[in-house]
Structures are given as C-alpha cells and as structure tokens.
Amino acid sequence: MANVIIENLVKVYPDKSGAGVPVVHGINLEIRDREFMVLVGPSGCGKSTTLRMIAGLEEITGGTVSIDGKVVNSVLPKDRDIAMVFQNYALYPHMSVYENMAFGLKLRKFPKKEIDVRVREAAAMLGLEPYLERKPKALSGGQRQRVAVGRAIVRKPKVFLFDEPLSNLDAKMRASTRTEISKLHARLGVTMIYVTHDQLEAMTMGTRICVMKDGRIMQVAEPLALYEHPANLFVAGFIGSPPMNFFKGTIRHSGGHLAFVESGNSGTPLTLALTESLARQAAAYVDKPIIFGIRPENLHEALTLPSADPARTADVTVEVSEPMGAETYLYLQTGATSFIARMRPTDRFHVNQKIKVVFDLDHAHLFDPVSEAVIG
C-alpha cells in the first residue's frame, strides 16, 4: 500500500488574457497509508481537478504529488500504480462483465490463469458472480458501477481514486453502494481517495475529510471532529444536514455578564446569555459584530424541558413544520433570522404558532464576521 503527499499543488488553466485561471491554489495534504480520504466541497472547488492531477490526467502547474515516497509529476498515469473509478461507468458495451474486468490485465499481458483468479475474486467481493457473462446493458446502474469498481480491484493498485462514483445512482442505490465501498475499504485495507459534493457521503465513508472551497483547503479532520469543531463558517455551514444555523449580532454586557444580541430585529432582538466558555472566547468582541452558530439538534422547545433557563430562551414563530418520521424539522423565525430546529416526531406544530425555544449554548460556536474563522 502507499501514502500520497501533495505539496504546494497548483493548477492554472490558460485563458486568452495570458494570465491564466487558477483553480487550485497551492494546497498541501497528506493521505496516509490505508486511509480513506474524502475530498468534499461544492462544484468548482477544485476537488476533481486535484484527483485528476494525482492520477496524472491533468498536468500539474506547480508543486508535487508523491506516491509511496516517489514524486510522480512526470510519471505517466499507467505507471503510477493507481486505479480510478469515474462518475460514468465507461464499460465496453460489447464485452461481458468478465471481459470488462479482465481487459486491463489482458493489456498488461497477465497470464490467463492469474486473470481468472483475480476477476473471480473481485466478483465474489462485489456480488457479481451471477452476472459475469452478462453485457452491461443487462445490468442495473448499481451493478454497472460495481463492475467499474471490480475493474479497479483486479489491478491491485497502491491507490484507488473515486471521482463522484455514485452521482448517477438513485438515492436508495447510492446508500447501498456507499456501504459496499466502505466494506470494500475495510476488507482490502488499501489507500482510497474519494471525491464527492455530498457531505453525507463524506461523513459516512471517510476516515478523514478534506473540505475544499475555491481551490483551497478549508479544514482536514475526522468526520465528527469536523462536525463538532468546524474551523470556519464555511465548514460549519457545509457539514451537517440540516446545516448549522447562523445569527448575526453583537456581544453586549447584560446584567453583569456577556450576551449575544441579534442585529436587525424589528421586534424584540434575540438575546442569549453566554456560558463562561463562550464569554471567554467573546471577550475581545464586546460591542463588535459577531456571528453566532448553533446546530438544529441543540435547539429545544421549552415545554419539553424540566427547567428552561429564561436567559437562553427565545420567543419565535413557526414558519413551516416538516414531519420526517423519526424527527420533525421546524423552520422558525426570530424576526430577523430564519433557522431550523430538530424536534421530537410526536410534537405537532402549525404555521404562525408562537413557541419558546431553548438554546443549548454548550454546543454553540462564535465566528469572526470578517475572517469567518471560529473564535476560541
């Protein structure tokens, strides 16, 4: 197996002006041996371009890519000992499943016996044994994607690269195939780099996650660390579904302690007494703008709690109630800010209902409005 080290990686596409269009801005990242690293971010953030530079399918403008301690910038894709699974299955329609999986090994002139062993071993892993004689047109989308994965497995490469392999599947098939790829990683114990725009895929599959935006790395961490300790406003809003709620306001002295006071409220502004921990973080922001963040599960209806702290309780209005079965998403309004709360599935709400919501500030975050970095 192998680790992959990216140092000061830059990609600039040429344009008519001659200056070029930079899409990856000097990123640094280490993918450890046997790790499942997920590159996640919105469309156009540079994640697929980064993956293609690792594969050798895109020319590197600056910096280096090393695989297993060797710089591979000038090494041809076929000689990098990697295997890539694309968004499109790219199967040969005139070949059977067996022939599609064996094709790459035949080109490399592997012995027939070795090819047969590898293909059947991969087919057993992926549940493709009953379909080896079928042509791709006789397979479902999920089965075709498994064939594409099997074609990579038979190579036994140092590194597997996945470029949004599930985006063409329906929701149910995505969930099952996602589980299969995770099981495959555990079984093979190989280094995998996986690109997706879906934060749910990233959270459920990755050993670590690299969050990207505008060709830059925002944060690299384990899934729960990203969720619980986001480094900045972008990561906090991108990771999690529903996303973190954000309130713009100011830190004020109130009753001998510091409080967050919402801005732009036409009625009574949202005012929340900060915990000791948040107060220490916010000490340098008294009478200055700040952004307060809290996740939907850390908001509770006051009636459901044995004792609700009035200093951390707000009167809000219900805009929409979405029963989801296992929980209810409640869209609320303070007067200046719309936000989301997760409520119990048995609770019932109606539009324009006035309720009291308690903010669990032990799980809240404060962000600098200029740098967008987390405070503390």
Omega prior to 243 cis, within 30 of 0? no
Q: Alpha-carbon distance 346 to 196, whole Å?
A: 35
Find out whether 178 and 210 touch, Cβ atoms under 8 Å. Answer: no
The predicted structure's pLDDT at residue 254: 82
* Domains present along the chain, CATH in parentheses: 4-238 (3.40.50.300), 245-367 (2.40.50.140)
Q: At what angle do helices 112-126 and 141-153 cross, to 10 degrees?
A: 140
Is residue 130 predicted with pLDDT exceeding 80? yes
Query: pTM, whole model, 2 decimals?
Result: 0.91
Output DSSP code: residue 284: G
Q: What is the β-pairing status of strands 271-273 and 257-262?
A: antiparallel
pLDDT digits (tens, 9 = 90+) for 251-264: 999 878 899 999 97
pLDDT band at 376 (very low <50, low <70, confident <90, very high): confident
Q: What number is the average pLDDT over the span 196-223?
A: 96
pLDDT band at 265 (very low <50, low <70, confident <90, very high): low
pLDDT band at 338 (very low <50, low <70, confident <90, very high): very high
Bridge partners (DSSP) of residue 252 are 259
The predicted structure's pLDDT at residue 114: 95
Cα Rg, the chain, nearest whole Å: 25
Q: Alpha-carbon torsion 235, 236, 240, 246, what sign?
A: negative
- The rounded mean pLDDT for the chain is 92
Find out whether 103 and 118 touch, Cβ atoms under 8 Å. Answer: no
pLDDT digits (tens, 9 = 90+) for 219-239: 999 999 999 999 999 999 999
Find out whether 160 and 83 touch, Cβ atoms under 8 Å. Answer: yes
Is residue 267 predicted with pLDDT exceeding 70? no
pLDDT band at 145 (very low <50, low <70, confident <90, very high): confident
* Residue (of 247, 233, 243, 242) closest to 336 by Cα position: 247
* Residue (of 205, 179, 180) closest to 194 by Cα position: 205
